Structure formats: C-alpha cells, structure tokens
Structure 1
Amino acid sequence: MNIKKIPYGDSDYGKIIKSNMYYVDKTKYIHELEALPNYIFLIRPRRFGKSLWINLLQYYYDSNRKDQFDVLFKDTFIGQNPTPNKNKYLTLAFNFAMVDPNFDRVQEEFQSYIDSILNDFLMRYQDSFEKSFISKLQSYQRVNKKLQELFLYCARHQLKVYLFIDEYDNFTNTILTTSGKFKYLELTQGEGSFRYFFNLLKGLTSMPDSGLVKLFITGVSPVTMDDVTSGFNIGTNVSLNKNINEFMGFTESETLEILRYYHDAGQLTLDLDFCMDIMKKWYNNYRFARKAQNVLFNSDMVLYFVQQAMQDTTIPENLIDQNVRIDYKKLRYLITVDKQLNGNFSRLKDIIEKQEIISGIVKSFPVEELNEQENFISLLYYFGLLTIQG
C-alpha cells in the first residue's frame, strides 16, 4: 500500500497531489464561491487553510495550466464537476506575509515585493502581452504606475485577471503590535504605496471592464481593511456566509476519516475513539455562521496531532501546535493603552470566568474603535478565541 503522506505545513496544492499526500476534498465549494459576488473578502483564524485554498484556486483558474487539470483534479469533486470558468483567467497572487514588517523599510519592501510578483506575472503570461508593453511596464520605477497600466492594458485587450491576496493584514498586524498604533496609522492612512495599492483596487472594482474580473482577499481580521480603505468597501465580506462554513477546517466525519485511513494502514496505533475525544476537546467547535449546522476542527491541528501520534505512538506532549498559538503581543495590545489596562481586560476576564458572552459580530471596524465592546468581542472571534454557540 502506497501510504499517503500528511501535508502538515504544506499549502501547495500541486505538490500535495503530485507527492501523494492526503488531501481532504473541499473542491465542491468552488461552486459556492462562484455563486458569491466577484470581489470577496474572507476572514479565518491563523493556520486554518487559507493559503492552501488560494493556491488551489490558482491551479484551477490559471489559463496556463489547462494541460495539468486532469492530473491535479481527476480524483476530486471539481474534477468530475468542473465549472465553466476553469482555466479561464490570468491569475495574479500576492502573499503579504512575505513583506518585511520592519516599519523603517516596510514601504520599500512592499514596493519591491509587488514589483517582483508583477514581473513574474508578465513572464508567465508573456504570450498575452505585446513585447513593447512588457518593456515599457518594466521601465516604470513606481509599482503603483505598473499596476495601473497593467490593468488598463488588460481592459483594452479583454484579458481577464483573477487577483488573490493572501494574509493581506500580516505585516500591518505585526507593525500594530510591535511599533504601535501611530506607526500603523501612518502606514494604513498616510501616503505611500500600501494605501495606494488598496485605493487602486477600490477603483478597479467599481470600474466597468477594468480587467480585474475576480478578487479574493484573505486575512485574520477586518481592521486593516477598514483603516486602509476608510471604511470597508472593496468587495463583499463573506466571512459569515453559512454556505461556506465548511469551506476551511475539517468536519467531524472528515477528521474521523483521516484517523481511520492511517489506522487501517497500520501507521496510527492509538484507539480512534480516544483520539477523537481528545481532538474534540482541543481542536473542535469552530463555527463561522450563525445558522451553520456543523462545527469544525482546526485543520492544521488535526494534521499536527496525527503526524505526532504516528511518530511517537502516543498523543503529542504539546497538544497545541506552536505555529497555531496566538501571538500574545497581539492580545496584550488589545487590553492595554499606554501600558495601562483598558476596559477590554475586564471583558476578557469576564469571558474566561463565565465561558461565554452575548454579542453581535461586527463585520468591519477601525483600529481606533477596538475598545468598543462589540468590536473587541468580534476580534476575539475572528482570531479563533471565541466561537458561535449552536
């Protein structure tokens, strides 16, 4: 038996399939995604499968990968039930976790990163662009000018671009918690390439035939988006849509199926019920919509548990993966102002003592309003520290 490897820490869908790794088939949700508006924004906790989905969608929609479709998707739901949009777009993908969060050089690093991704995009799709245009675009020093001209060209030549931004708030959150609110606001509300990048997106999403036909942004909170756009208005926030509740994370049946696979293969020797009981206590109960029927396991934690249990023939010594643990600097920032405890500390204390709180979930709010109770509770929910009770 050719036992599948566990894709713990891997977010390259092509590598997972070609390297015979275990993949929980979520591709049926591509149909749900296509039923949503063209420009969407999705919030999920850290290490919940966002990057894998962004990567998978690139393989699915990339017009350059038509010849790879059968190899990559033949054993999936979408392989048997493809949408008309498969392999239809030029895909442009950014991952802002790759931007150095040092405030003194973040604007320069951001421009450099955008520039490198744009150059790669032009090379991958060079047959779609006139050589003179590629040379002209590469001669521009400012990435803002490059982006603007690129999409104007795509609009004129009816080229359809699907733009992905993964971890859009990664380096801004780091700056907020390490350099402080004023530096953060200078980045998100001042002049510079980062803010202009989102202003350009705002313009493209409201412009007919802009070349930007689809947009998918992921992150861990709505705060940066609200601040950088002066009130969220790029696309639709679908984070609480019940139709994609199970889009990321594993259901109980999917988790049990993973355990059975490795147990039947002789790799996992622990009792399955014992494993499920532990994982239910530690990794379960995420719910991303009020009317969602199923709760979810953190997918990263499930893979971590199974991998460690197979290696050590016992449960992991540390049941929480170090990579999933929230950065406590971020939590400390939420409950202090000028190194003094604010009202959020008493709210957090109350939640810990009562194990619940009644609150709405706010879809968008700026950093200046984090001290408002409903916003604070919402942020804890987005971070994965609270969930919706069934």
Structure 2
Amino acid sequence: MVENVKIPYGISNFKALREEKYLYIDKTKYIETIENLNSKYVFFIRPRRFGKSLFLSTLENYYDINTDSIFRDLFGDLYIGKNETKLKNSYLILKLNFSGLNTDTKEKLERSFRLSLVDAAKIFLSKYESVIKDASKIESEMKSTTDLRNLLALLLNAVRKVDKKIFLIVDEYDHFANDIIAMGDSTFYKDVIRATGFVRDFYEAVKIGTETVIDRIFITGISPVMLDDLTSGFNMASNLTLDINLNEMLGFTEKEVKDIVANCNLEKLMKSSNVNIEETELMHELKKNYNGYLFNKKAKHRIYNPDMILYFFNQWEKSDEYPEKLIDDNVKTDYGRLNRLMINDENRLKLEEIIKNEGIVSNIVTRFSFDNMNDEDNFVSLLFYMGLLTIDYQERTRLKLKTPNYVINTIFWEYFDKKLRKEHNIIIKTEPVRLAIEKMAYDGEVEPYINYISQNVLKPLSNRDMIKIDEKHIKITLFTYLSASNAYRPTSEREIENGYIDIYLEKDPRIPDVKYEWLLELKYLKKSEEKQIEKAKIEGLKQLRRYANSSEFQGKKNLKKALIIFSGKSDYVIVEE
C-alpha cells in the first residue's frame, strides 16, 4: 500500500477513521444536500453493510457541538469543510442503535429496548454534562421509571431547560422487527409495534419531542416494513430511499473505486502477490463481482457495495495475495436471512423464478405492513431493499429488477443448492464435482461434469418434479455446482453483439493456469420430444457459431464450444465445436 494509506474495512467511526488516517471517500457533500431538504425528518434504507453506520457517524461529528474545536481536523480537507452549512456544530446528538436486542419474548424485547434507550441516555448525559444541569439527578430519575415515554420526556425536558436542540440519529431502527418477521410471529409483532405497543409509544414520544427540542431526525434500516406500521404514530418522516439525488450517497461509484485503486499502489500489490493483472482487468473483475446497485430508475451511476470493495483490498493488502475468497463471510451471514424469509410456498416459488431468470418484472413498494408482506410486489421489494435485487430498467409501467452482481448470484445459487438437497434428498459430493470441473478447465472435457449433474441431480427428481423442469432450470442447476471450484467465473445470458450466451465459463484470475474457457449453449427437450433432437442440434450449433464469431471472443486462445441437449431426466447429447 501507499505509505500512510490504510483501508478502512469494518470501521464505522468517522472520528477514528480520520484521526488514524484511513482512506476516506468523501461523501460529505450529502450533508449539505440533506440539510437543504424541505424535511427535517429523514428515513433512509440501504442494504446491510452499505456504509449506513459510517455516514451516521459523519453526521454525528459534523453537527455535534462538542466537535467544534476539532472541526478543521475532521472536515477541513473535505467538501463540507470547504462549504460549511449554517447548522454545523449546533446540536446535541442523541444516537440510538436498535441492533442486538433480545427478541425471544415480548417481555425480553421490551426490557432490552428500554435498556438500550437508557444506555444511550446515559452516554448523552455524560457527553453533555457541561451543558445539561443536574445530569446525575436526571440519570437517577431514569432508573426509577419503566415507561418509555417518561424516560424520553426526562431527557428532553433537561435539554429544553438549557435552550438547546437535539439531532436524533437512529441506526438499525428495524433490526428487531426483522427478526420477529423472520419468525413469522404476527401476534408478537403486533403486540410491540401496533396499537398500545411499546415501540409505537416510543415513536409517538419522539413525535411529541419534535414540537420542542428534537429539531432533526435521521433514521436508517434495511426495510420499510415497520415504518408503515408506525404511520399514525410517527407520520412526519420523509422516506428518501429512492431519491435520485441520494442514489450515490452510500456505496462507491466507479470513479470512487478507481480512486481507491489509485491509492492502493496496484503495481506493488501485484509484485508482492505474484499476480499479473492490469488495472482495466481489475476494474472488470470488481465491476462484475461488486457493482450493479441502482436505487432510482433515472439515476446515472450504478453503485459498488462498499463493504465488499474494502474487504477485497483489505484481504489483498493483509495477505500479500490476490484474495482467494471474493465474498466477506459477514455479508454471507447477513444474506443468510434469505432462508428465514421463505415462510410460505408463494415466496419460495417466486424466489425460484427470480433465481432462474436472474430477475423479475415488478413494482418497488415504498412501504408495506407485516400483514401483506408476502404479496408479490411487497416480497420482491423486500429483496430489493435487502440488496438481493436492483433496478435494471423501466419495462412499460413496471420495473425490470435483476441480481446486481456475481456475488449475489452465488448467494442465490447456494440457496438453490440447499433447496435441492432438502426437498429431493439429493446428495452432492464436492470432490467429484471439483474434479469434473477441472477436467473442463485443464483437459477440455465437458462430459464428466454434465454426466455428474445429470446422474446425481436431475435423475433423482420425481416425474412430478420433471413437469416443472425447463431450460432455465437446467442452466441454474449447472451454475449452482460450478461454484464448487474456483476455476471459472460463470456468467449467464451475457450480452454480446450477436445475442445472449446461455453460459460463458470465463477463467478466474485467481487461477491463472486454467487452460480452457467455454461457451455453452443449452437445449432441453421433454422425453416425448426426443424426435426433435436433430432440429435442436441445427438450431443450437447455429447460435453457438454466431456467438463465437463475436468480436469479444476473437483472438481468445483455447476457447471451447459445446451444445448440450438434455432430454428427459438423465439423457443428454453433447456436440462440441
């Protein structure tokens, strides 16, 4: 790495990041943007690990009266340091984080919610003891009240007496609600969120607080579900999640990723890790793996997942090797929640359709309640907010949504694999799959892999299951098990000048000695359609030749081409070119 430049992977404390001289991608112009909005109360959703906590920490340090003396150190060379707003360093910051609450029972959740609020209040009183009179007395009074309204009122009254204003920041506002939703316990959810629920009481108290000392609010989470259920008690926040002006506020644009690459002394990294990769090739890899997010259909720039980008460079720098693992295990754990959302057959079927088609046409719903969360548009919208789908383009009156990148595809394939194993008692052994893929990569033989999938995945399916099988199902099955080896980076429906390739197996830069790449064209015929095999051959080979003649593949050495025609459960024909 360039001297004194450190990759801030996992760091969400803005002050520490700046003081310890970590690399910082300047997002502070959005402080000005948000301050100039008509609404003082902002609600903003982004997927997990997308930079929300760091941005909240940036807001905290910018508006906190206590950071006035170090403002130049923190912000002097940033956009907002050169374009100060009138509200800088003018608030007491009350920061809440509702992650990690105990959701075992309603009583345990209410207790941990209250303790979380009390802890935040103690930090607040300690932080501003030079401003707030009788801070210790107020803290003592808080211990004797169990009512959330009274607890918040004690704090707000203390601030009102000293004629100050509060900027309320709420991180992970929906974390506990998502846990309850994943459990499918509607009674539990309604008891705490709706009617006389304590969460509703809290937000009603916040709303009342805006009439006196709470001047600004910024709330983040990953889902709008709870927002809808709080509407009557907390109906003044503006949902800016899909605002075109904030599309690039979190995450990295391509230009920002190039800035990171420029700071990471690519030549030195390659030399230390014995990897020969040009910057253009590296950008191609990063784009394919981590880019793709779009949060407004008219936005110009797609966004890279910031956690994944920083993870990649942190791993490279730390190990002096091109990263072996492309996906942060923490991200994989977060997206593991996908399994917990499959609480009915409609969701499972819809997700299978999305995986097979790598997308879906739908509407993005800006708010929906727990009661109708499983309606088609609402479920698809939830996948969008989680970062598992993103906007592709407008299709008539609806949006075409797609999987954003290769990493998300691998998460879907992993889900599909678990589904096959569980529902059909399919046993897949990793070693035979890996060896079959290596036959493709090093010996130019595709048949061992096709045979293994045919005999071990397709053949065990029941006749009833085979009724639902089509070409797309076959394709996603082949994709799912290609991830057993690092030899290839498979892509589906890749657009080239002569059409869309069914499967392109591009060698992975982590395994530079892979000899063969593959273009695969798939056809599927039901057993009753076997007589059409010759016709399918003619059509498939014509397509395959057309794809191979595209300029993208001209000059590629050792590019192999194969037409694979599946027939019924386990029969297949392979024609190589």
Which residue does 2:53 correspond to in 1?
Answer: 51
Which residue does 1:297 correspond to in 2?
Answer: 304
Which residue does 2:181 correspond to in 1?
Answer: 176
d(CA) in 2 for partners of 1:238, 1:82: 23
Which residue does 2:317 correspond to in 1?
Answer: 310
Report the RMSD for the aligned CA atoms in angstroms: 2.2
Which residue does 1:350 correspond to in 2?
Answer: 353
Query: In the alignment, is residue 281 of structure 1 matched against residue 282 of structure 2?
Result: no
Which residue does 2:427 correspond to in 1?
Answer: none
Query: Shift of residue 130 of structure 1?
Result: 2.5
Which residue does 1:8 correspond to in 2?
Answer: 9
Tell me if structure 2 keeps the 8 A contact 1:177–1:329: no
Q: Rate the CA distance shift 1:326–1:375 in 2: closer, same or farther, 3 A.
A: farther
Aligned residue for 1:165, secondary structure, equals strand
Which residue does 2:164 correspond to in 1?
Answer: 159
Q: Rate the CA distance shift 1:265–1:355 in 2: closer, same or farther, 3 A.
A: closer
Query: Bigger shift: 147-156 or 196-205?
Result: 147-156
d(CA) in 1 for partners of 2:325, 2:104: 31
Which residue does 1:387 correspond to in 2?
Answer: 390
Aligned residue for 1:126, secondary structure, equals coil
Structure 2 residues not aligned, in runs of 5+: 394-577
Which residue does 2:99 correspond to in 1?
Answer: 97
Aligned-pair identity (%): 37
Tell me if structure 2 keeps the 8 A contact 1:176–1:184: yes
Q: Rate the CA distance shift 1:134–1:191 in 2: closer, same or farther, 3 A.
A: farther
Normalization by structure 2: what TM-score? 0.63
Query: Bigger shift: 215-224 or 325-334?
Result: 325-334
d(CA) in 2 for partners of 1:222, 1:232: 13
Residue-by-residue CA offset, 1:148-178 (whole Å, 9 max, x unaligned): 2332443455311000000111122123324
d(CA) in 2 for partners of 1:64, 1:186: 39
Tell me if structure 2 keeps the 8 A contact 1:334–1:370: no
Query: In the alignment, is residue 323 of structure 1 matched against residue 324 of structure 2?
Result: no
Amino acid at match of 1:307: N
Equivalent of 2:192 in 175, 187, 190: 187
Query: Bigger shift: 52-61 or 311-320?
Result: 311-320
d(CA) in 1 for partners of 2:27, 2:174: 25
d(CA) in 2 for partners of 1:385, 1:255: 21
d(CA) in 2 for partners of 1:6, 1:41: 29
Amino acid at match of 2:372: E
Query: Bigger shift: 181-190 or 11-20?
Result: 181-190
Residue-by-residue CA offset, 1:119-140 (whole Å, 9 max, x unaligned): 2211221232232x75145313
In the TM superposition, 1:56-95 aligns within 5 A as 56-95=58-97
More strand by share: 2
Tell me if structure 2 keeps the 8 A contact 1:42–1:217: yes
Residue-by-residue CA offset, 1:286-324 (whole Å, 9 max, x unaligned): 011121110000000000011112234443222111111
Query: Shift of residue 17 of structure 1?
Result: 0.9
Tell me if structure 1 keeps the 8 A contact 2:292–2:304: yes
Q: Rate the CA distance shift 1:288–1:326 in 2: closer, same or farther, 3 A.
A: farther
In the TM superposition, 1:197-276 aligns within 5 A as 197-205=202-210, 207=211, 210-229=212-231, 233-263=235-265, 266-267=268-269, 269=271, 270=275, 271=277, 272-276=279-283
Q: Rate the CA distance shift 1:64–1:265 in 2: closer, same or farther, 3 A.
A: farther
Which residue does 2:380 correspond to in 1?
Answer: 377
Q: Rate the CA distance shift 1:231–1:115 in 2: closer, same or farther, 3 A.
A: closer
Tell me if structure 2 keeps the 8 A contact 1:177–1:333: yes
Equivalent of 2:118 in 103, 115, 119: 115
Which residue does 1:27 correspond to in 2?
Answer: 28
d(CA) in 2 for partners of 1:275, 1:92: 42
**RCO (CA 8 Å, sep 6+): is it higher in 1 or 2?**
1
Aligned residue for 2:219, secondary structure, equals strand
Query: Bigger shift: 210-219 or 358-367?
Result: 358-367
Query: Shift of residue 192 of structure 1?
Result: 4.7
Residue-by-residue CA offset, 1:334-377 (whole Å, 9 max, x unaligned): 3323xxx2x22222222222223222211111111111111111
Structure with greater Cα Rg:
2
Tell me if structure 1 keeps the 8 A contact 2:181–2:370: no
Normalization by structure 1: what TM-score? 0.91
Amino acid at match of 2:386: F
Tell me if structure 2 keeps the 8 A contact 1:268–1:310: no
Tell me if structure 1 keeps the 8 A contact 2:62–2:88: yes
d(CA) in 1 for partners of 2:136, 2:317: 51
Structure 1 residues not aligned, in runs of 5+: none
Q: Rate the CA distance shift 1:71–1:136 in 2: closer, same or farther, 3 A.
A: closer
Which residue does 1:368 correspond to in 2?
Answer: 371
